[in-house]
Structure 1
Amino acid sequence: MAHEQHTSCIEACYACADACDRCAMACLAEPDPQQLARCVALTVDCAQACRLASAFMARASAYDGAACAFCTMMCDACAEECERHRTDACLDCARACRRCAGECQAMTEFIPRATDVTGTHAHH
């Protein structure tokens, strides 16, 4: 994997985590945040998945592809939920999630088989 794509994915993960944090706080500030409970829960989970994936990539972990696959799944779910709401924070979050999911999807080709894992690997 080209270093530039790795860097681009890490940046997309951090941007998505930040957008998720902003979305969660904006939802909690709404007059009836209980209606947005699923959105808040997904944004918190998604932000955590993004931070996990970016950390795995930064360390060139043998499991970075698997972390990115999980991140892709979380970003897709979060984007779907956020797109249901018409607030600026939710729509910004959905855009960041879609971008991150696309970047992470490209990284999933590096999911190792159990027999291939010896710790860490370098992306070429």
Structure 2
Amino acid sequence: MFDWSDSWSVVWSFFWIFAFIAYLFALFAVISDLFRDHELNGWWKALWIVLLVFLPFFTVLAYLIARGSGMERRANRESQQAQAAVENYIRGVARQASPAEEIATAKSLVDSGTISQQEFEAIKARALA
């Protein structure tokens, strides 16, 4: 497969392996951006996919030149949405009721008859632990 006896052929082989892997990353970035873009018509998406099948290298290059700035905007918007979701989740988890609030809520549930006295004691013990 490869002639590993010559050091330059090794360097050349690593170069082509790197180039192929870089191409695969670009190809998957283009495909994921095509499906992420909700403003692009379905027929245009289908055309880009067909071109990717028949002229893969030139189509990836053309897509990156023609729609590269849009790719960046969509990636930034998706990253900001993911960051906002993580921050909202962290805020929701971090804001837990204090032991006094939990006991007060449990006391109101006991007074209304929703939970029993034993359940109230268990909640109180867990809150104070």
TM-score (norm 2): 0.38
Structure with greater helix share of residues: 2
| Length-normalised TM-score, structure 1 | 0.39
